[in-house]
Amino acid sequence: MSPKIKRIHAMEILDSRGNPTLRAFVTLDDGISASASCPSGASTGEHEAVELRDGDKKRYGGKGTLQAVHNVNKTIAPALIGMNPLAQEQIDRLMIDLDGQPNKGRLGANVMLSVSMAVARAASLSLSTPLYTYLAGSRKIRLPVPMMNILNGGKHANNSIDFQEFMVMPLGAPTFAEALRYGVETFHALKGILSKKGHVTGVGDEGGFAPNLKSNEEACEVILEAIEKAGYQPGRDVALALDPAASSFYEGGRYRLVKSGQGEKDAAAMNRLYDSWLQKYPLVSLEDGLAENDWEGFQAQTRLLGTRIQIVGDDIFVTNSRFIKRGIEEKTANAVLIKLNQIGTVTETIEAVDLCRKAGWGIVISHRSGETEDTFLADFAVAMGGGQIKTGSACRSERIAKYNRLLEIEAELGADACFENPMKKGSTK
Ligand code: PGA
Ligand code: ZN
């Protein structure tokens, strides 16, 4: 007999920035109980699904989630009680209908996602199946290569670097555990180098350093130095990935590289700048190199660079199948950053992943800058099989929790664990 949902409730908890977020609990009639917590972004895309906040300035500066809790307890719970937790798609569609808004603005994407994830977790527990196996369905599971954000600029740091995230990707490692070790050792080497040069080594929201370097180029150079100091060969063992988060320095139709003093550029000049970086640095992936509404610029970038590197759309696609479909038709990029809370349900996120796979596009499963100790993301990344995860640097427990869960999964899979370079031609997307 299939299990039934007996109770759903939520509570206000805190995320890694000390801002309120939501934890939803699902109890089944077979005695199983599970919870899940919603992350939260800072450099959010304009077209993301709505994160419901109270707006009451007297509580948490307006960021409270009491209304969201209420929506789970009073609107979603009564509708879902009695349903089969294995019917994930039916449950998610019902919540979408209950909300009735294209941007999930009535109930809130945070409300729907925390319930959606808790339902999936309860279902997997009820079947005594690991969450990653349950979520995978018939997809081929794969351990992801981490894209580790170890150095920050842009809106995330008070320095002379325009670009938001400089990441290392240990593509040459034979296993996930080894990839993580390569990345962590590079992070520690970078800390040593920065300290020696007299820079601060405090970390930002995702665990990356934010030293006061002089330019965007210096950021790449110091990371290359760290890769070598850690005993690895840049490009072969550990490559670079970049997320400029270009919407944050796009103003009045121009890209303003104010922090580094490189002046104003149009999309074509930005694309030439990235092209010149490809000649100098072992860059394999470029995310949001242009602004979220610059579809034409993205298309030109993909034409210019897309056969050599991965062009990832984050804010431009916001994990929304409608935007991804347009992107595939117009060849706007060749990969998508997948964030569950940008769209608001597990079902729609999986739909976005499947669209990418069908088009042969890259899939990068990503955290948000505000996270919790929930490790759903790790299982989700393995289940989707895209072979790439973005879950921060090599410190801060909310990031490390995901890495530790991935270590557990790889150990559990033993000889069946698949780990491969997702950038290699012929690698399964
Ligand atoms: P966010 O940023 O989670 O603050 O939106 C991360 C990113 O741009 O990838
Ligand atoms: Zn991004």
Give pLDDT tens digits for 255-284. Answer: 999 999 999 999 999 999 999 999 999 999
pLDDT for 173 equals 98
Residue among 156, 314, 317, 340 to mutate when testing ligand 1 (max atoms within 8 A of CB): 314
Calculate what percentage of the chain has a pLDDT beyond 70. 99
- Mean pLDDT, residues 416-420: 97
pLDDT for 229 equals 98
Predicted confidence (pLDDT) per residue in 319-378, tens digit? 999 999 999 999 999 999 999 999 999 999 999 999 999 999 999 999 999 999 999 999
Please state the φ and ψ torsions of residue 331, each to the nearest 5 degrees: 50, 55
Does residue 424 carry a pLDDT above 90? no
Residues 197 and 311 in one domain: yes
- Say what the pTM is: 0.98
In a domain, 133, yes or no: no
Residues tagged active-site: 206, 339
Residues 154 and 113 in one domain: no
pLDDT for 1 equals 83
- Cα–ligand 1 centroid distance for 370 (angstroms): 9
**Which atom of ligand 1 sits closest to the CA of residue 40?**
3
* Count of the separate structural domains present in the chain: 2
pLDDT for 113 equals 98
Domain, as residue range, for 315? 145-416
Neighbours of 50 (CB within 10 A): 17
Does residue 157 carry a pLDDT above 90? no
- Alpha carbons 315 and 85: distance in angstroms, whole number: 31
Residues 82 and 184 in one domain: no
Q: Which residues line ligand 1 (CB under 6 A)?
A: 41-44, 243, 245, 314, 366, 368-369
In a domain, 424, yes or no: no
| CATH number for the domain harbouring residue 367 | 3.20.20.120
Residues 257 and 386 in one domain: yes
CB-based burial label for 292 (10 Å; 0-12, 13-18, 19+): buried
Read off the DSSP letter of residue 46.
Answer: T
- Cα–ligand 1 centroid distance for 83 (angstroms): 34
E strand intervals along 29-127: 33-37
- Mean pLDDT, residues 81-101: 98
Residues 212 and 337 in one domain: yes
Residues 169 and 85 in one domain: no
Residues 372 and 330 in one domain: yes
- State the greatest distance between any 2 C-alpha atoms of the chain, in Å, as a whole number: 66
- Alpha carbons 42 and 314: distance in angstroms, whole number: 13
Q: Whose CA is nearest to atom 2 of ligand 1?
A: 43
